[in-house]
Each structure stands twice: as C-alpha cells, then as structure tokens.
Amino acid sequence: MTIDKGVSGSGTAEASPSPSGGGDGKKPPDGPRGSGSPIEFRLDAASGVPTYLQLVQQVEHALRLGYLKPGDQLPKVRDAVASLAINPNTVLKAYRELETKGLASGRPGQGTFIEATLSQVALPELATLHRSLLGWLASADGAGLDEDGIVALFSSALRDFFKGRDRPADRRADRKGGTEGVA
C-alpha cells in the first residue's frame, strides 16, 4: 500500500511534463497550458495533511513565491480532478476556502481567479525577527535541548499561541492591512 501511494503521488506530479511517459502515450497531457493556469497541483499522500488543505497551501505558497498573481486563473475543477484523481468536492472546498480568505474568487462559467496577493512582512522586519529567534535558539541550546527538542518545543508553543486567536482569515486580513500601508 505504501508503494502505491508513492507511485501514484509522484506519477501525478510528473505525468504532465513528460508526455512520453506512461502506457497511453497518445493521451494529451492535462497540463497547465491546456487549462490556462500558471500552476498545477500535486499531492503528497504521506504528508497527513487533508487533500483540500494541500491545495490551499499550494496556492498560498505559489502566491508567496510569485508563481501566481492577481488575475491569474486557478486550475479548472475538471482539470485538477482529472490529473489528481480526487473528488471534485475536494477542489471546490479548497477554492471556497481561498475565497473565504479573500485570495480568490469564482467567475460564473469561467473558473476561479486570484484576487489578492499574500503580502509579506518587510525585509528589515524579517531580519530583526530572524536575529531574535537566533538568540532564543542559543539559549535553548544552552539549556541542553537538541534540534528535535527545539522543534517540538517550538511547535507546541506555536500551537498554544494560535489556539486562542481568531480564525486564520481574520489574522491575515489584519496583517495585510498593516503592511500595505507601509509598502
């Protein structure tokens, strides 16, 4: 069963760029060129992350890295479903989530399009945060924690920190409002 996961997972990701691979070579690839979207989804069956959330995260990741920008089209539901062999409702759920977050919107009869960008914290601020984190890491190291211990402690603190807070969409809206003024 593990082998199946691996093969189908990577097969999905690599099937489209190499049309020669696979038994049915005449099948046109359901690639990004056909669907008009700059990105193509892949799935990591071993990650344990729910499928719809993987799609949401991949869109967010693509936004942070600039693969996607406002106005770009997300893969059509039918194309995403045909290339990943997943339930259409999963894709719809991911797109709904992106709409709730204000990142995308559906246009009737056309598809789903990117609405916003994921604005990042300004570089100097990032550097300051990075420095203070290094300071904390030094003290954790000094206290005798190894790397795994540090990761476990950090993840646990991160969970506690965000547990009581608002929904992620609200947080993002706040942050975006704040940085847009600066940039």
Partner 1 sequence: MNVIETSGLGKRYRQTWALRECTLAIPAGHVTALVGPNGAGKTTLLNLGVGLATPTAGVVTVLGGVPAGSPAALDGIAFVAQDMPLYKPLSVADMLHLTRNLNRRFDQGYALARLGELGIPLKRKAGKLSGGQQAQLALTLALARRPRLLVLDEPLANLDPLARHDFMATVMATVAEHGMSVVLSSHVLAELERVADYLILVSGGRVQVADEVDSLLSTHRILTGPASDARTREELTVVHERRAEAQAHLLVRTRGPADPVPLGWEAHPVSLEELVLAYLREPGAAALPGPARTSNAEPTEVTR
Strand partners, 105: 113
Q: Is 84 in the site for partner 1 (CB under 8 A)?
A: yes
Nearer to partner 1, 63 or 90 (CB): 90
Q: Is 83 in the site for partner 1 (CB under 8 A)?
A: yes
Q: Is 27 in the site for partner 1 (CB under 8 A)?
A: yes
Q: How far is the CB of 16 from partner 1 (least distance, A)?
A: 12
Instruction: Kindly tell me the sign of the dihedral angle through the C-alpha atoms of 58, 40, 98, 114.
Output: positive
Nearer to partner 1, 43 or 104 (CB): 43
Q: What is the DSSP letter of 115?
A: -
Q: How far is the CB of 67 from partner 1 (least distance, A)?
A: 24
Rounded to whole angstroms, how far apart are CA atoms 98 and 68?
Answer: 13
Could you give the angle at which helices 123-142 and 147-163 cross, rounded to 10 degrees? Answer: 120
Per CB under 8 A, contacts with partner 1 among 30-69 are 43, 45, 48, 50-51
